[in-house]
Structure 1
């Protein structure tokens, strides 16, 4: 599955979930509110991961580097710039997760933790900035996080297909055709 295929699928995903200009504008507002909280969000995120023995063991010796990378990623998510380059970066992040053998469970639970942390911060910011200042900002941010997770997850899918191809000698198009067979 090439980046071109992933981007094509992503465009369909974006249309289906309604990640449109109105929601992107809401994301820009949410970003203005949340950017000052990125360090706090990143620290809380890693506190949650370090509280679990399984994820804590996986993070051992890497925490400061990972916090810096996570901080930059959250800044990017809250930047208000959601062009093709942004989404290509999400694909590359997925490839880095696969390369570094981050278990899919950690990725999925990390996104869940992040949603809670960001939505809590939006709730606080909404109260400070007036409730009607950004209707449905949390929902728009949720859609963006869903899009990022979709793109990152595709890297795991691609890795699995590549491993099956290497183990069996079957071509990727053949494997993908087999996956698409109806029951």
Structure 2
């Protein structure tokens, strides 16, 4: 792993003022979200089952994946969003990359989760919804970062270019 995804995670947290505005709110929302955990997880995997490609990826492992999804969801609301949190989320991204799950699925499923969380938390107020959406955005950013870094490593392997040089070239747009 390069430091780009971690740097972006830290920058995004600062940009959102996440640690001050949202991190303190999330643990207080955990009980509300966990009451709906099974329904959210079931809907999540039902959506995946409706897609031909995604259904093949999860086939035969849905129960195991549902258990993992529940742990992931609980961790969203634990209140700790530092180095250990980042590393766990990055590892999820690496797992998705190794399983050859298209980043598209991360993006559309995150969008689905955003709607589910907003619907559940709307009664808790705007800050509750904003906090849940912020942590989902950060999670998606970390997971997608793992895809970016994998592509950069593969590009480096193919071209022989140094990763820092590739990142610099990519920054020119």
TM over 0.5: yes
TM-score, with structure 1 as normaliser: 0.86
Whether 2:47 is the aligned partner of 1:48: answer yes
CA distance in 1, matches of 2:47, 2:172: 41
- The answer (yes or no) to whether the contact 1:45–1:117 under 8 Å persists in 2 is no
TM-score, with structure 2 as normaliser: 0.90
Q: Where do residues 28-39 of structure 1 align in structure 2 (5 Å cutoff)?
A: 28-39=27-38
1:21 corresponds in structure 2 to 20
Deviation at 1:5, TM superposition (A): 4.0
CA distance in 2, matches of 1:96, 1:71: 17
Q: Deviation above 3 Å: which 4+ runs of structure 1?
A: none
* 1:156 aligned to which of 136, 144, 147: 147
1:79 corresponds in structure 2 to 78
Gaps of 5+ in 1: none
1:173 corresponds in structure 2 to 164
Gaps of 5+ in 2: none
**RMSD across aligned C-alpha pairs, in angstroms?**
1.8
Deviation at 1:174, TM superposition (A): 1.8
CA distance in 1, matches of 2:7, 2:164: 17
CA distance in 2, matches of 1:39, 1:80: 21
Deviation at 1:9, TM superposition (A): 2.6
The one-character-per-residue Cα deviations of 1:26-67 (angstroms, maximum 9, x if unpaired) are 212211211222122111111122122332222222211211
Number of residue pairs matched?
A: 173
CA distance in 2, matches of 1:25, 1:72: 20
Q: Where do residues 99-110 of structure 1 align in structure 2 (5 Å cutoff)?
A: 99-110=98-109
Whether 2:84 is the aligned partner of 1:93: answer no
